[in-house]
Structure 1
Amino acid sequence: MDFTERTYRQRHRQDDLLHFQVTVQETDLDIGVRRERFSRELVEWIEETIRACRKPLETYIQQDSEFLKALTPYEVPEDAPAIVKTMAEAGRMAGVGPMAAVAGAVAEWVGKAIAKRSRDVIVENGGDIFMKTTRFRKVGIFAGDSPLSNRIALEVHPEQTPLGICTSSGKVGPSLSFGKADAVVVLSSSVALADAVATACGNLVQSERDLEKAVNFASQIPGISGCLAIKKDQLAAWGTMKIVPMKV
């Protein structure tokens, strides 16, 4: 991911926030908080929060390895950990496996915890974002080698947040996709659901002709507030999202 790793994170960073990275095992988060809220103690607390988020998921996977491998909706027991049930439900609604929601679920868990300490917070996990904001913000869209890449952004208003902004691509990043979309971006108050639906929509896109189909699919899922799909120089969009030019 060398080139992508260095560039896509710039698309959501905000000048008024202090951004830093926290890594715990495979979890690599880019986090933005109000500058006055940042401290070494906050970073250490976030590390512990990530471990507390990961532990029940890791323990469950050790007991049920099929959960990790499933590419279609997977049923989990009623006494499964909360994060496991959240991922399974998101996968069920999107028609994909539960691990399609893992990055969004972790971003949401950690983001909601940090939001109790900073009124403005952005947590990005592999292109999946949790945002809570008190001001208008722009989130740029990276779509690989599409002519639209880094040319447009989503404008997010405070009343829309907490908000999940999740991206899937058949060309960029490590996540599994069976499609060829340059980017599919999905909005939802549930970051796990937005993550799973972005994967499902991305799987539908093989050519420009599939963009409308992918966006229509997202529009039918309760809890999804917007979807944007890009392939080459074509774009389709639906829902409550304001698309604006990206300042050069």
Structure 2
Amino acid sequence: MYEERIYRNSVKSNDLTGFQVMVMETDLYISAERDLSTEALVSVHKYRMQIQQYISENPEFQTTLKPYKVNNKAPQIIKEMASASSSAGVGPFASVAGALAEYVANDLLIYSDQIIIENGGDIYIKSNKNRLIGIYAGPSTLSNKLAIEINADETPLGVCTSSGTFGHSFSFGRADAVVIISKSTLIADAVATAVCNLIQNQSDIKKGIEFVKIIKAVYGVIIIKDAKIGIWGNIQIRKIN
């Protein structure tokens, strides 16, 4: 069943061509310099097939909530999912949305210098101009009030959001939004999941930030719980609306 993507307009990209690509559970919104729907569809099918084939032989890869070691013969996307999730202490499927966004984007960069892919609130961005990414934080009073300013010369970047109060993804936590920025969209996705799991109330924000500080691949974090926000790292925030 289709689930409305309430955060889909979070990235300001009116200068690019936007299009949607859907394959089974995968629902990507892509912005590029031209419509690359056909190329994106081929790429999504390719990586979904690699993931599904690996799961058919190693079903625990999909279900475990802990780091999972893969064999050397595994496809590169599988190896990178395992590595990224291990750095965050979670299962490999905590990085699947970020993995598909980044791998599909890398394929499309052959055709377009700028690519922005949103996959379930997880964003890969390669841009030639500065962009704003709005922060949707569910029921929080801060929802849609803040945006992250992304400098073009810092891209490509992964900007991934996890929440325990909205969305379809499973979480042990109750954060309204945990946003992680990293050069790796897979790591950003996995770490966002891990930090969100730690947040039950406002007092846990500090604990979440301390967790992030030890992961070198993370540039910064934003944690929102109710009306409180915690920010750490190389992040520029702007008020909107």
Smaller-chain TM-score bracket: over 0.9
**Mapping of 1:94-113 within 5 angstroms?**
94-113=88-107
1:171 counterpart residue number? 165
Q: Is 1:184 aligned with 2:160?
A: no
Deviation digits for residues 11-44 of structure 1 (CA, Å, limit 9, x no counterpart): 124211121110011111000112xx22xxx211
Larger helix fraction of residues: 1
Match of residue 12 from structure 1: 11
Aligned to 1:70: 64
Taking the aligned partners of 1:7 and 1:57, their CA distance within structure 2 comes to 27
TM (norm. structure 2) is: 0.97
- SS of 2:160's equivalent? strand
1:73-92 to 2 correspondence within 5 Å? 73-92=67-86
Aligned-partner Cα distance in 1 for 2:15–2:57: 44
Q: Which residue of 2 aligns with 1:154?
A: 148
Displacement of 1:53 after TM fit? 1.1
Answering whether residue 139 of structure 2 is matched by residue 145 of structure 1, we say yes
Identity of aligned residues (%): 45
Distance 1:222 1:70 in 2: 24
Secondary structure of 2:9's match? helix
Gaps of 5+ in 2: none
Give the 5 Å matches for 1:1-248: 5-34=4-33, 37-38=34-35, 42-246=36-240, 248=241
CA contact (8 A) 2:133 2:149 kept: yes
Deviation, 1:160, is 1.2
> Over aligned residues, Cα RMSD in angstroms?
1.3
Per-residue CA deviations over 1:171-211 (Å, capped at 9, x if unaligned) read 11111110000000000111001000000000000000011
Given that residues 39 and 108 in structure 2 are in contact (C-alpha distance below 8 angstroms), is that contact kept between their aligned partners in structure 1? no
Provide the secondary structure at the position in 1 that maps to 2:148: strand
How far the C-alpha of 1:88 sits from its partner, in A, is 0.6
- Whether the aligned pair in 2 keeps the contact of 1:108 and 1:191 (CA below 8 Å) is yes
| Greater mean deviation of Cα atoms: 115-124 or 146-155 | 115-124
C-alpha distance in structure 2 between counterparts of 1:146 and 1:95, whole Å: 27
Structure 2 distance, partners of 1:48, 1:30, is: 15
Q: Distance in 1 between matches of 2:218 and 2:184?
A: 8
Q: Which runs of 4+ in 1 moved over 6 A?
A: none
Q: State the SS of the aligned residue for 2:180.
A: strand
- 3-state SS of paired residue (1:101): helix
Contact kept, 8 Å, 1:29 with 1:124, in 2: the verdict is: yes
Distance 2:59 2:185 in 1: 24
**1:75 CA displacement:** 0.9
Secondary structure at the aligned position of 2:204 is classed as helix
Mean CA deviation greater in 181-190 or 108-117: 108-117
Higher mean C-alpha deviation, range 52-61 or range 195-204: 52-61
**Cα deviation, residue 6, structure 1:** 4.3
Aligned-residue offset at 1:120:
1.5
Residue by residue over 1:19-78, the C-alpha shift from the partner in whole angstroms, topping out at 9 and shown as x without a partner, is 1110011111000112xx22xxx2112101111111111100000111111001111111
The CA distance in 2 between the partners of 1:29 and 1:199, in whole Å, is 19
**What is the TM-score when the length of structure 1 is the normalising length?**
0.94
> 2:216, 2:111 → 1: CA distance?
30
